[in-house]
Amino acid sequence: MKIISLLPSVTEILCELGLEDNIYGVTHECDFPESIKKKRKIEFTKFDFEKLNNLQINKIIEDNIKKGKFSYFLDTEALKNIEPDYVVTQDLCEVCAVSENTAIESLDFLKKKPKIVTISPKNIKEIENSIIKLANEFQVEEKGIELANRFSSEINKIASKTKDVIDRPRIFCMEWINPIYSAGYWVPEMVEIAGGISGVTKASERSKEVKFNEIIEYAPNYIFIMSCGYTIDDSLREMETLLKNRELNKIPAFKKGEVYLVDANAYFTRPTTRIIEGIKLLTRTINSEVLDFEPMPDSILNLQNYIYFESFAG
């Protein structure tokens, strides 16, 4: 059984289901677990996003969507050689990965047509369901049930610790810095489970662009910067743009030094079991008294500490 994964999140789940040996092709963004980096890359972006800032990336993606152009392409020669039995893709977001329609068009040349499996979770329950769907599709049903149960059990454990929190802080999760986007889909649920209030975007809703005055009006107690697909170091490259705004001190989170950068790529933007670590990061930060948790290195950074360091370093 030969599987092509066009989603980093699917690649992670397939590996957790014990199907790593069946993965014959992955995307340029598939980087977890570490061993997956050796797999053949069959999907690439048409742009070097690492050399572009948030605003430039946003403009390219928006222009491509308006013109009906694809931002990603598949290595057709590699696909021909692999002759995959399955290709797993998504129809949730044209920005983040190859869409279902793109995959269908790109695979049309193959004589032996692979089965296309589409995964598009919008909330935590659908992430759990996607685990079951993949397990059933690839005949590892028992492993799927076990993984899904473990996933929901861990989330329920955290929720049980925060359910009695009365004074819940307002949280703003920034999915993009320029322009500013509020994180949607499963992230608002992560906030609620952690004992916070997600007042800008609701669970299952798409991420949406927000104006700065909307954030001022919302007056979040905490801000988590989780730029889609970015590590902390990636997000730090955009800080100069954000910190130029002279109205930052109108926001409680900035005034009190409660602005954090997180490893969004690992713990927030991918619908995998690793969002459990993301929920723990949120809980530890906004309700530290209810959860004893030591975060992974480079998973969270207080922006205030970064500013102080930069000022000292000159």
Mean pLDDT of 7-20: 97
pLDDT recorded at residue 93: 60
Residue pLDDT, tens place only, 206-253: 999 999 999 999 999 999 999 988 899 999 988 988 888 889 999 999
pLDDT recorded at residue 92: 64
pLDDT recorded at residue 309: 44
User: Which amino acid is located at 217 in the chain?
Assistant: E
Of 54-63, 100-109, 267-276, 278-287, give the lowest mean pLDDT range. Answer: 100-109
Q: What is the pTM of this model?
A: 0.92
Each domain of the chain, given as residue ranges in start order, spans 3-146, 168-313
User: Is 90 exceeded by the pLDDT of residue 257?
Assistant: yes
User: Is 70 exceeded by the pLDDT of residue 119?
Assistant: yes
- Residue 84 vs residues 112, 114, 205, 216: alpha-carbon distances, Å: 8, 6, 33, 50
Q: In CATH, which of 3.30.70.260, 3.40.50.1980, 1.10.10.10, 3.40.1160.10 is domain 3-146?
A: 3.40.50.1980
- For 88, which DSSP code? E
pLDDT recorded at residue 66: 74
In this prediction, residue 314 has a pLDDT band, given cuts at 50, 70 and 90, of very low
How far is the C-alpha of 253 from the C-alpha of 170, rounded, in Å? 9
Contact 146, 133 (CB under 8 A): no
Of 60-64, 133-137, 300-304, give the lowest mean pLDDT range. Answer: 60-64
Mean pLDDT of 259-275: 96
Q: Which two tokens stand for residue 196?
A: 């916070």
Q: Which two tokens stand for residue 276?
A: 């459990």
> In terms of pLDDT, which residue wins out, 176 or 293?
176
**CATH 1.10.275.10 at 168-313, yes or no:** no
pLDDT recorded at residue 56: 83
Question: Across the strands, what pairs with 208?
Answer: 182
In this prediction, residue 313 has a pLDDT band, given cuts at 50, 70 and 90, of very low
User: Is 80 exceeded by the pLDDT of residue 159?
Assistant: yes
User: Is 80 exceeded by the pLDDT of residue 308?
Assistant: no
Contact 86, 103 (CB under 8 A): no
How far is the C-alpha of 110 from the C-alpha of 115, rounded, in Å? 12
pLDDT recorded at residue 98: 64
> In terms of pLDDT, which residue wins out, 48 or 314?
48
